Structure 1
């Protein structure tokens, strides 16, 4: 990939940063899921790399979308036939409980003016049963760059679904975290190379959009 091609690929008029589930429950000390993700998040420098990616996206003029999981209420799922194991845990823990601090955005990733918050996803895909695909197409986005939580669930599933819909998909491997290193390996080293068009570090991505191809 030449520098010229790289710059054109991530041109502002066709690129969006998707921030997956930037809730306090995932990213903050005291969050319900932070203890499970802390080791990997700190090991990859998740928060700093997410901050860099968001600043880069804003600086480049990319569209920015927050892609949130459903905010839970006590009455959710009670009449459902087929809860996934993850949804069963959400019911028990009331993860991302509506109105709670845990369901608020991590402060550094609150949407800015002109940025989008899509409809909440019930399972793992940010595309399924939401308006994400519609909003991307209405804004002429063809290239999606994913960061956030959690690597082997919402990030992986949203990325796969995006590729199926015809988007160019980039995962930023150190701006994504999970509950174990095995989950990170499964997503970034085993699964993503089969469907993603690029799996980059934050430094590699920033180098590309700033005019140099670091791959």
Structure 2
């Protein structure tokens, strides 16, 4: 399948654009800052979102579960990562950190997907159903983090039959090693295209 992004069958998945990730005062901002700055993350996210809207491509917000103090108390198998998120109350419900960054606010016509509890935006949410109901065959995935929610969502999407595009400078991770693994080692095993923002904008 060629990398042609028809507006009727393409969707942009914007994953976890929370203040806690993208704003300097965010709880997880400092952990991703070095990598985010190195790829000019915020500017690229804005460029892609603007270009997609101008092209009339459907935007889907794919948010992580917003933390609450009693999360996972009765769970059999919470992961260490989930428990750490609970402890730190990253993306806390009702908090500024759990709000979307000011530059990435939903607009009329955008689709808000149910929050995912772990990494995949597909698992235990309505993402697959919503994409199918909108006639989507190709998904462009941007946001946070490259080696967790972006990778898990993209892998799951490929398994469900979607054409998957990663944008390697429209995401970030907590280390350069994690970014390298996401795009140079793991990404080629499931993504149909791994582009830069410039390359994506040229074909939209």
- Is residue 191 from structure 1 mapped to residue 186 from structure 2 by the alignment? yes
* Equivalent residue for 1:157, pick from 144, 152, 161: 152
Using the size of structure 2 for normalisation, the TM-score is 0.98
Aligned to 1:213: none
Alignment match of 2:41 (pick from 36, 46, 66)? 46
Deviates more, 1:132-141 or 1:84-93: 84-93
C-alpha displacement of 1:91: 1.4
Partner residue in 1 for 2:16? 21
CA distance in 2, matches of 1:72, 1:83: 14
Aligned residue number for residue 113 of structure 1: 108
- Paired residue for 2:79, among 84, 94, 98? 84
TM-score, length of structure 1 as denominator length = 0.93
Q: Equivalents in 1 of 2:32, 2:67: separation in Å?
A: 20
Number of aligned pairs?
A: 204
1:69 is matched with which residue: 64, 71, 76? 64
Structure 1 stretches lacking a partner, 5+ long: 210-215
Runs of 4+ more than 4 Å apart: none
Which residue of structure 2 lines up, in the alignment, with residue 30 of structure 1? 25
Structure 2: which 5+ residue stretches go unaligned? Answer: none
More helix by share: 1
> Residue deviations 1:131-189, cap 9 Å, x none?
00000000000000000000000000000000000000000000010000000000011
Counterpart in 2 of 1:128? 123
User: 1:91 & 1:12 partners in 2: Cα distance?
Assistant: 38
1:81: how far off? 1.0
